[in-house]
Amino acid sequence: MSLPLSGKVALVTGSSKGIGAAIARRLSTDGANVVVNYASSIQAAAEVVAEINSKDAGNAIAIHADLTSIIEGKRLVDETIKAFGGLDILVLNAAVMENRLLADITEELYDKHYNTNVKVPLFMVQHAAPFVKEGGRIIFCSSSLTMNTAVPPNSVLYVSTKGAIEQIIRVLAKDLGTRGVTVNAVAPGATDTELFRNGKSEQILQAHRERHPAKRLGQPDDIAPAVAFLASEQAQWVNGQTWFVNGDADITTRSASCIGEGKRLIDDSVKAFGQLDVLVLNAGIMEYAALSAIDEAAYDKHYDTNVKVPLFMTQHAAPLLKEGGRILFFSTSLAINTSVPPNYVLYVSTKGAVEQIVRVLSKDLGTRGITVNAIAPGPTDTDLFRNGKNDQLIQMFANGHPMKRLAVPDDIAPAVAFLASEQSRWINGQTWYINGGYNV
């Protein structure tokens, strides 16, 4: 049986320690040949390479490069291609984080952060793009601090560079998507690495643990599976997305428009299989109407089916779910689409409710190791999507997509399977937009 990344070549920057090392190990376990990049930790890099090469999977070499320099970044790409004959996966993990309040920031410190965290990764991608094969993967590393309302006041440089990264991937997803090259980011939360521990007392670290639903810090091995999934062929329809990887027997619902039916479905499932591990709340309705044409019956139909019943099904299922269980809602990429049609107000607003339900329930159920997430497909070739659209309109959607086609259901399913797996244990409270880069 071939491994999912057999024959692929991966370059992981800043991979001698911490999250980068975990990513390098995981990609090699999945079959990729990996370049372990280091700036100063030659011994640590050698240990990662030795560990990888001791196993019967991908091979690894270490290459030194100081990634405060564009020239060095380009050289690292060139040496990777020279060593392995190509490049399929580029993971841009190297970064600096030195916290200062506004009054203490110098131009030198600004340049250090923006050169290492933004400029060099961008120009490495520019240099690598012509060499990355069709179906290649470019994966940046951001930070959950970009969405954290409790962001520390002294992290302005670090967090703003990650904000730049999240916008870079949105645009590059359009630029490179026509070649089938996807561009995404993972955004870890508080993760137990040297970079995170630097300057923090044990009291502060314990406070981070206590605030987390799982009552612990993330580990580098919690982050690596998401990167490995994004690097795989299974992630072909994930493009232009930032995935927040911070911890915060199956049922897929078909149609339940009343709470009693939803609860009965759960009870029947448990009775049939003896347990419940994964609840996928996929059922939904979408009927178009302008504001002036909406009546109370249409409102109740949408909110009962898309919000109320899934919420009370989750309430009923939660005590039955085992530790490590998974709850997956369905949203829509229309929730972030700036060109959302004006007659979608009921459908899209119910999905906005779902995304906030996911955020809150991840805190409520996270203490039991149960994760709550959502999948948000874009235009997908289903009966629901085709309803009311002529062939000309369908073709317009396809032509407007970076990959020049609609999604098919099999493009969406792998992300659901990943979120249902143990590998996704540190992904919680997130909505993943599985739209191939359409209108990100």
Catalytic residue annotation: 142-143, 158, 162
Q: How would you list the strands of the sheet with 60-64, edge to edge?
A: 60-64, 33-38, 9-12, 87-92, 132-141, 182-188, 242-245
Pair type for strands 182-188 and 250-252: unpaired
Q: Half-sphere exposure of residue 88, counting CA atoms within 13 Å on the CB side?
A: 20
Q: What is the 3-state secondary structure (H, E, C) of 48-107?
A: HHHHHHCCCCCCEEEEECCCCCHHHHHHHHHHHHHHHCCEEEEEECCCCCCCCCHHHCCH
Give first-to-last CA distance, the chain, whole Å.
36
* 3-state secondary structure at position 265: helix
Both structure tokens of 120: 């060099």
Both structure tokens of 440: 């990100």
Token match 């019967």: residue? 56
Q: How would you list the strands of the sheet with 431-434, edge to edge?
A: 250-252, 276-281, 321-330, 371-377, 431-434
Measure the CA–CA gap between 60 and 66, rounded to whole angstroms.
19
- Can you give the C-alpha Rg of the chain in angstroms? 22
Pair type for strands 321-330 and 276-281: parallel
Both structure tokens of 277: 């591990």
> What burial letters (b/e) apply to 413-425, b meaning 16+ CB within 10 Å?
ebbbebbbeebbb
Both structure tokens of 216: 């612990």
Q: Using CB atoms within 10 A of its CB, is residue 185 exposed (0-12), middle (13-18) or buried (19+)?
A: buried
Tell me how crowded residue 180 is: count the other CB atoms within 10 A of its CB.
Answer: 16
- 252's enclosing H/E stretch is strand 250-252
Q: Using CB atoms within 10 A of its CB, is residue 132 exposed (0-12), middle (13-18) or buried (19+)?
A: buried
Break the chain down into helix, strand, coil percent, rounded to 5. Answer: 50, 15, 35
Pair type for strands 60-64 and 87-92: unpaired
Measure the CA–CA gap between 409 and 255, rounded to whole angstroms.
18
